[in-house]
């Protein structure tokens, strides 16, 4: 064992093990979230939700996954093949990269990069591209409309998202996620920055294309939006990426505003997952409570309310920090 | 060849391949994908040069903002879009002249300039140094660029309003 470690190098081995751990976590997280989504949806609507497969329907997602694996992978005749094939693979790159820098515990992090949050934000723009590739490559009007909406939405909500994170970066004096968590030893940043937290959370829900901001895949008007023409495992990859994205935005919110892995009594990782899944629950809760907004409303909220508020918040924070 | 050199070579290949695809591809969408690949390659070069901050900014701005905007414009054309008309002789000549001049200029510069060897830049200081430079030595160019962007935004708004009024 010791020989193998010495041969590959400790740092490389740590990264490889970390990446495998990330992959396992991504699949596990998606399984839990599909179950949670159906269960929460059920209870919101005074139903029970899945209950037949396993205790409390816990094995239901595994049955669903096997069903998806068994389905035929259809490729429509008129699709733009390279783009169509590449899109579901590419949507996974930002998802995996984001996990590398998220600190699950004081020592549980694949790699602490000193520009950590920038890595996540930079690579998250790639997911827009895979949506565009999927929408364009499908050669289907619903898919294309979904993709166009997704881009407009992403441009509008990326700005308040960045501006809401900036005050925290200024207060912690670092881009490293670990340093930001350590800076919240005394008081969580949500106490200093309640407005930034609200702006971040709204933008995050919009960035993940979830209801009430799910216009890119609005079922009632666009069939399924950008993944209309995808079936079987290719569809499952989009699905997996969406649920992982929900976890990632919640994890960033926890890291930036809710003290990350810090908390009394319990070990750090438990606190981290507890806080993250609480936010994930809120996102699911929102989906089953609010109707979809209109597209002009969606853009107006971002450009006319969130962005000016975020700028004011940033100015005030900067001013107070210098006093 | 060490691993570092191999990665450097791969980055170069990706950058050049993306750039060639952007120029030579007949379809706008493929050209855009080539552009994005080239941008990523350049970001890879920044990482190779020990400037992770600059690399992330490259991706954030050129891939995340500029290319997404271009993509948005392309999407509005719709899937019916076909390859543009062939170049005119004058256009071809002009383009060739432009490329030749730029290449010549770069070549002359490359031959006459002696490049100073710098020590390994410090990894942790990059953001601080960049910030200090922006608001200290380079504050005038920085503000001038801001002014340019404001003018561009105003121009875009004027164009949008003007074409709307004409309809």
Q: Could you read off the pLDDT of A51-63 as tens digits, one per residue?
A: 888 788 788 888 8
pLDDT recorded at residue B118: 63
Contacts of B127 in chain A (CB under 8 A): 115, 175
Find the residue in B nearest to A82 (Cα): B30
pLDDT tens, residue by residue, B32-53: 888 888 988 898 888 887 777 8
**Nearest residue to A33 (alpha-carbon basis) of A68, A65, A69, A72:** A65
Q: Are B75 and A151 in contact (CB under 8 A)?
A: yes
Asked if residue A274 has pLDDT above 80, the reply is: yes
pLDDT recorded at residue A174: 80
A59: part of which helix (H) or strand (E)?
none
- Model confidence at B102, pLDDT cuts 50, 70, 90, reads very high
Distance CA B162, CA B167 (A): 9
pLDDT tens, residue by residue, A5-24: 666 677 777 778 888 888 88
| Among A122, A136, A175, beta carbon nearest to B64 | A122
Distance CA A174, CA A265 (A): 28
Where b means 16+ CB within 10 Å and e means fewer, A266-295 reads eebeebbbebbbebbeebbebbeeeebbee
Percent of chain B past pLDDT 70, that is, above it, reads 83
- What mean pLDDT is predicted for residues B90-95? 86
- What mean pLDDT is predicted for residues B150-166? 79
Asked if residue B78 has pLDDT above 60, the reply is: no
Asked if residue B14 has pLDDT above 60, the reply is: yes
Q: Are A40 and A285 in contact (CB under 8 A)?
A: yes
User: Rounded mean pLDDT of chain A?
Assistant: 83
Find the angle CA(B90)-CA(B95)-CA(B100) to the nearest 5 degrees: 125
SS3 A258: coil
| Among B36, B71, B124, beta carbon nearest to A114 | B124
Q: Are A316 and A163 in contact (CB under 8 A)?
A: no
pLDDT recorded at residue B100: 92
- Model confidence at A65, pLDDT cuts 50, 70, 90, reads confident
Q: Is B74 exposed, middle or buried (0-12, 13-18, 19+ CB in 10 A)?
A: middle
Distance CA A122, CA B57 (A): 7
Cβ–Cβ gap B68/A151 under 8 Å = yes
Cβ–Cβ gap A129/B68 under 8 Å = yes
pLDDT recorded at residue A1: 64
Backbone angles phi and psi of A77, in degrees to 5:
-65, -40
Cβ–Cβ gap A119/B29 under 8 Å = no
pLDDT recorded at residue B50: 75
Percent of chain B past pLDDT 90, that is, above it, reads 7
pLDDT recorded at residue B119: 61
CA A34 to chain centre: 14
pLDDT recorded at residue A103: 84
Cβ–Cβ gap A128/B68 under 8 Å = yes
Cβ–Cβ gap A132/B52 under 8 Å = no
CA A58 to chain centre: 23
- What mean pLDDT is predicted for residues B71-77? 73
CATH architecture for residues B3-125: Up-down Bundle (1.20)
Asked if residue B151 has pLDDT above 90, the reply is: yes
Where b means 16+ CB within 10 Å and e means fewer, B14-33 reads bbeebbebbeebeebbbbbb
**Nearest residue to A110 (alpha-carbon basis) of A177, A202, A206, A187:** A177
pLDDT recorded at residue A50: 81
Find the angle CA(A212)-CA(A136)-CA(B79) to the nearest 5 degrees: 120
Interface membership of A120 toward B (CB under 8 Å)? no
What torsion, rounded to 10 degrees, do the Cα atoms A279, A285, A287, A289 define?
-140
Cβ–Cβ gap B123/A175 under 8 Å = no
Q: Give pTM, 2 decimals.
A: 0.81
Asked if residue B147 has pLDDT above 90, the reply is: yes
3-state helix, strand, coil split of chain B in percent (to 5) is 80, 0, 20
pLDDT tens, residue by residue, A209-241: 787 887 777 777 777 777 777 877 888 888 888
Domain coordinates of chain B in residue numbers? 3-125, 126-167
Cβ–Cβ gap A125/B76 under 8 Å = no
Which of the residues A132, A133, A152, A318 would you substitute to probe the B interface, choosing the one with the greatest number of B C-beta atoms within 10 Å? A132
Contacts of B57 in chain A (CB under 8 A): 118, 122
Distance CA A169, CA A127 (A): 24
Asked if residue A282 has pLDDT above 70, the reply is: yes
pLDDT recorded at residue B98: 92
Distance from CA of A138 to the nearest CA of B (A): 10
Interface membership of A155 toward B (CB under 8 Å)? yes
**Nearest residue to A247 (alpha-carbon basis) of A278, A276, A272:** A276
| Among B29, B60, B65, beta carbon nearest to A136 | B29
- What mean pLDDT is predicted for residues B120-132? 65
Interface membership of A114 toward B (CB under 8 Å)? yes
- The number of CA neighbours under 13 Å toward the Cβ of A218 is 20
Distance from CA of B64 to the nearest CA of A (A): 5
């Amino acid at each position: 064992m010791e020989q193998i470690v010495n041969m590959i190098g400790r740092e490389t081995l740590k990264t490889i093990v970390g990446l495998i751990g990330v992959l396992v976590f991504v699949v596990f997280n998606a399984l839990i979230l599909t179950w949670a989504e159906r269960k929460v949806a059920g209870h919101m609507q005074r139903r029970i939700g899945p209950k037949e497969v396993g205790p409390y329907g816990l094995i239901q997602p595994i049955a669903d996954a096997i069903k998806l694996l068994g389905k035929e992978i259809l490729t429509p005749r008129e699709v733009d093949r390279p783009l169509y094939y590449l899109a579901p693979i590419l949507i996974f790159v930002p998802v995996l990269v984001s996990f590398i820098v998220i600190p699950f515990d004081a020592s549980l992090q694949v790699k602490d990069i000193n520009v950590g949050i920038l890595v996540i934000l930079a690579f998250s723009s790639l997911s827009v591209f895979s949506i565009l590739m999927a929408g364009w490559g499908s050669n289907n009007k619903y898919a294309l409309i979904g993709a166009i909406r997704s881009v407009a939405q992403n441009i509008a909500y990326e700005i308040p998202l960045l501006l809401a994170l900036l005050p925290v970066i200024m207060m912690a004096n670092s881009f490293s996620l670990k340093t930001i968590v350590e800076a919240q030893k005394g008081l969580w940043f949500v106490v200093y920055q309640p407005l930034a937290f609200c702006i971040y959370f709204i933008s995050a829900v919009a960035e993940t294309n979830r209801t009430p901001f799910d216009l890119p895949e609005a079922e009632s008007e666009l069939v399924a939006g950008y993944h209309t023409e995808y079936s079987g495992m290719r569809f499952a990859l989009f699905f997996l990426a969406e649920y992982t994205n929900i976890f990632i935005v919640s994890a960033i919110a926890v890291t930036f505003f809710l003290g990350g892995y810090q908390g009394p009594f319990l070990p750090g990782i438990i606190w981290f997952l507890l806080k993250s899944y609480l936010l994930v629950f809120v996102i699911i809760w929102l989906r089953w409570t609010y109707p979809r907004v209109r597209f002009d409303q969606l853009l107006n909220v971002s450009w006319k309310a969130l962005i000016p508020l975020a700028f004011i918040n940033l100015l005030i924070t900067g001013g107070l920090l210098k006093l | 060849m060490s691993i570092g050199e191999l990665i450097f070579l791969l980055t170069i290949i990706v950058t050049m391949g993306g750039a060639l695809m952007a120029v030579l591809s007949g379809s706008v969408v493929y050209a855009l994908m080539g552009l994005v690949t080239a941008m990523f390659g350049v970001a890879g070069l920044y990482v190779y040069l020990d400037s992770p901050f600059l690399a992330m900014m490259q991706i954030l701005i050129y891939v995340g903002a500029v290319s997404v905007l271009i993509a948005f414009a392309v999407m509005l054309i719709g899937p019916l879009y076909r390859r543009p008309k062939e170049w005119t002789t004058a256009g071809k000549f002009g383009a060739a002249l432009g490329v030749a001049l730029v290449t010549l200029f770069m070549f002359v510069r490359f031959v006459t300039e002696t490049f100073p060897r710098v020590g390994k830049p410090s990894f942790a200081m990059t953001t601080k140094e960049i910030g200090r430079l922006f608001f200290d030595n380079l504050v005038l160019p920085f503000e001038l660029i801001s002014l340019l962007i404001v003018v561009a935004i105003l121009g875009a708004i004027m164009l949008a309003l003007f074409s709307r009024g004409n309809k």
